């Protein structure tokens, strides 16, 4: 697996998409969870290319499948993204899109629709994600993702259906109709139902579309209606008050499983699967090596092996990294002189987010996976590289631009991964947590 995106033609101009339509659909009861108020719709969604690339990778890996398969899916999705989307501030497909077979066009549109949905849900304030396959059998249509955290924290989870269409007949009307149709069929039946990640209390259907050969895109959202509260709010029914804070352990494991697949840390993924009873408990409890580095005013942790060549990995295993002369040589020659080829993106995680989750995971491992905590107290962050409005670029305090995107759960994709010159190391033990 690799946490690096190759540099071939990834566009670098921010894109702004206006919300074409926003419809609300009645549900009984409403609200499902007393006192829950959904965030207002995002009238403008702005994102950089790195943010969309990261979101496509996130959604491609948010499912319970073997890590090797998911890593391959995200790499193929990102390769398509680089050559099929124009380098323009208005969304536009390149001429290469016309050369795809019909099934490939449909798949690429679906991937972009999922990525846009993930950006939209994060922009609204939702933090954690999981696949919604647990809601029904494969034969019954259901929405794609479940989201938690933010304003829904303590209430349950929200459901999100993603749709993408790059058809010759794509218009504002057809995209709006698709959002409404999919809400009625794949979202509404599951609002006010249980899931393994929490009670579903609200739902969205996000449809994204563009007509090949034209400039611009359509973004339509269908959402569960929550009437404005009466002047005097009645007391909440028994069992419907907001529960304690934090994220459910099941959803934290699902979100971070995807994150560590993207980061190229298969050892961590194996432990998550073992604790979640979806795979065997790993027999190798050896430490996992991380690179620690500063970027845009924060510290991040990344895989020590996904970004460096095999020679550097051997140096690490042989303990040569601990010698100052080797550290100097690696930073000066391997990184500064570009010996790593055309790599342009590196999936990493904000240090406090990574540390908090992996130390919690170590505690679960020590207990043998028995009596797992119901919820975890994990940090969340304001997104960078995308958001509601046009001021979503990541910048340093002195105004210099950084090319990266960070999501609310702490996962980040660095568009210029070799910018930092100060690199440190940390090690995580599956049974002891982080050293130091």
Tell me whether residue 320 is in a domain: yes
Q: Which two tokens stand for residue 377?
A: 């107290």
Tell me whether residue 403 is in a domain: no
The reported pLDDT for the residue numbered 191 is 96
For residues 392 and 408, give the distance between their C-alpha atoms in angstroms, rounded to a whole number. 14
pLDDT in tens, 222-252: 999 998 765 554 554 444 334 456 899 999 9
Same domain flag for 261 and 167? no
Q: Across-strand partners of 375?
A: 248
For residues 379 and 357, give the distance between their C-alpha atoms in angstroms, rounded to a whole number. 9
For residue 142, give the nearest of 156, 160, 125 by alpha carbon. 160
224, 239, 259 — which closes off a domain?
A: 224
pLDDT in tens, 306-354: 655 444 554 555 555 555 544 544 444 444 434 344 444 788 999 999 9
Question: How many structural domains are present in the chain?
Answer: 2
Same domain flag for 45 and 103? yes
Tell me whether residue 166 is in a domain: yes
Same domain flag for 171 and 204? yes
pTM over 0.75: yes
Tell me whether residue 238 is in a domain: no
DSSP of 279-312, one letter per residue? SPPPS----EEEEEEEETTEEEEEETTTSS-HHH
Same domain flag for 20 and 166? yes
224, 256, 271 — which closes off a domain?
A: 224
Please classify residue 422 by burial: count the beta carbons closer than 10 Å to its beta carbon, then call 0-12 exposed, 13-18 middle and 19+ buried: exposed
- Strands 298-303, 4-6: pairing is unpaired
Tell me whether residue 387 is in a domain: no
The reported pLDDT for the residue numbered 279 is 76
Same domain flag for 286 and 251? yes
Long-range CB pairs of 211-214, under 8 A, 24+ apart, other chains included: 211/166, 211/167, 211/168, 211/169, 211/170, 211/171, 212/93, 212/97, 212/98, 212/166, 212/167, 212/168, 213/93, 213/98, 214/92
Which secondary structure element, helix H or strand E, spans residue 6, and what is its range? strand 4-6
Q: Whose structure tokens read 């749709």?
A: 163
Same domain flag for 251 and 212? no
Same domain flag for 51 and 135? yes
H and E: helices and strands count for the chain: 9, 19
Same domain flag for 280 and 216? no
Same domain flag for 186 and 298? no
Tell me whether residue 427 is in a domain: yes
DSSP of 51-65, one letter per residue? HHHHHHHHHHT-SSS
Where the chain has pLDDT below 70, the residues are 1-12, 64-79, 138-139, 229-245, 305-344, 389-400, 417-421
Tell me whether residue 267 is in a domain: yes
Q: Is the peptide bond before 404 cis (omega within 30 degrees of 0)?
A: no
Tell me whether residue 318 is in a domain: yes
Same domain flag for 300 and 426? yes
For residues 322 and 306, give the distance between their C-alpha atoms in angstroms, rounded to a whole number. 19
The reported pLDDT for the residue numbered 236 is 46
* Structural domain harbouring 351: 247-381+409-434
């Amino acid at each position: 697996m690799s946490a690096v995106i190759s540099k071939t033609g990834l566009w670098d101009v921010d894109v702004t998409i206006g919300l074409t339509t926003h419809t609300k659909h009645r549900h009984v009861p409403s609200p499902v969870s007393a006192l829950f108020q959904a965030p207002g719709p995002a009238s403008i969604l702005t994102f950089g290319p790195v943010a969309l690339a990261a979101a496509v990778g996130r959604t491609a890996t948010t499912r319970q499948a073997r890590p090797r398969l998911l890593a391959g899916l995200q790499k193929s999705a990102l390769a398509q993204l680089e050559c099929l989307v124009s380098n323009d501030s208005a969304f536009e497909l390149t001429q290469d899109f016309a050369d795809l077979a019909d099934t490939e066009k449909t798949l690429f549109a679906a991937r972009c629709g999922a990525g846009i949905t993930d950006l939209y849900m994060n922009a609204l304030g939702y933090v954690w994600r999981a696949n919604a396959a647990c809601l029904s059998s494969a034969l019954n249509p259901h929405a794609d993702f479940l989201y938690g955290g933010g304003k829904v924290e303590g209430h349950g989870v929200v459901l999100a259906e993603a749709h993408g269409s790059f058809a010759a007949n794509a218009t504002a009307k057809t995209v709006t109709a698709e959002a409404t149709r999919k809400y009625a069929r794949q979202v509404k039946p599951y609002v006010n139902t249980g899931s393994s990640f929490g009670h579903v209390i609200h739902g969205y259907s996000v449809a994204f579309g563009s007509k090949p050969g034209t400039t611009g895109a359509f973004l339509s959202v269908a959402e569960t209606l929550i009437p404005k509260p009466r002047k005097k709010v009645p007391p909440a029914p028994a069992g419907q008050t907001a529960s304690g804070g934090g994220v459910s352990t099941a959803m934290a494991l699902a979100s971070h499983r995807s994150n560590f697949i993207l980061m190229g840390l298969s050892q961590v993924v194996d432990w998550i699967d073992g604790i979640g009873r979806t795979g065997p408990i790993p027999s190798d409890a050896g430490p996992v090596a991380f690179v620690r580095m500063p970027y845009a005013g924060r510290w991040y942790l990344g895989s020590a092996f996904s970004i460096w060549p095999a020679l550097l990995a051997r140096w690490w295993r042989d303990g040569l990294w601990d010698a100052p002369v080797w550290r100097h040589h690696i930073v000066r020659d391997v990184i500064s002189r570009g010996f790593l080829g055309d790599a342009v993106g590196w999936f990493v995680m904000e240090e406090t987010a990574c540390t908090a989750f992996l130390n919690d995971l170590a505690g679960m491992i020590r207990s043998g996976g028995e009596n797992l905590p119901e919820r975890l107290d994990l940090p969340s962050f304001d997104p960078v590289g995308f958001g509601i409005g046009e001021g979503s670029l990541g910048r340093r305090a002195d105004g210099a631009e950084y090319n990266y995107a960070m999501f609310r759960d702490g996962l980040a994709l660095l568009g210029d991964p070799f910018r930092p010159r100060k690199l440190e190391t940390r090690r995580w033990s599956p049974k002891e947590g982080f050293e130091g």
